[in-house]
Amino acid sequence: GRNCAASFHRRWGYTPEASICRWKRCLRVGRQQGTLLGESRYLEVRYEALTGDPESELRKVCRFLEVEYLDSMLESTRSGKRARGLSSAKIRPNDRSYADYFSEGRCESLERIAGATLSEFGYNTRYPDSDEEPPEAKMRFWLFRDRIRVAASTVVSKLSTESQFSWGLLIRKLIRDLRHARFKDN
């Protein structure tokens, strides 16, 4: 959850507290639905386990899906790795990068929101019983602000790549997105 919040913040500027709220809800609903499906139709895979020991985890997933494991599954197909000059396209571990990314205070805030869920899913946390829900008005503000940031990012990227940019199109898209979401966490 904390790594998810860090990733969404780093990539899109999303508010970490809103991201961890979404993470917490998604995992709880996923596990609830998985329980209804039963062990033969539901498998949980931890991202840290997948990036920490990809071969073992992918073999487990392949057995579950009853498909053949191939060594080529360990190679990334993302062109970005080559563009950034990384020496290997192998899957790399991603564990606890949130601790380097966020301040101690921000980590504490995230754990107070999702500590119980973090603990339930096997993650260490200083607040294993904490399950704070931010006030709805604060969540709406965070989600609104996040959507504005994404729209601003779109404007900047479009302005740098296109000589003629349609402000009207962008405004209509933002209004449509906001109406569709109604400032709720979907």
pLDDT tens-digit readout, 67-79: 999 998 888 766 5
Residue 74 confidence (pLDDT): 86
How far apart, in whole angstroms, are the C-alpha atoms of residue 174 and residue 180?
A: 10
pLDDT for 90 beyond 90: no
Q: Could you give the 3-state DSSP secondary structure of residue 40?
A: coil
Q: Could you give the 3-state DSSP secondary structure of residue 90?
A: strand
Average pLDDT taken over every residue of the chain: 84
- Compute the Cα dihedral for 127, 130, 135, 141 and give only its sign: positive
pLDDT for 34 beyond 90: yes
H-run or E-run covering 31: helix 16-37
Q: Classify residue 53 by its DSSP letter.
A: S
Q: Could you give the 3-state DSSP secondary structure of residue 37?
A: helix
45/83: higher pLDDT: 45
Q: Give the mean pLDDT of 88-112.
A: 83
pTM: 0.75
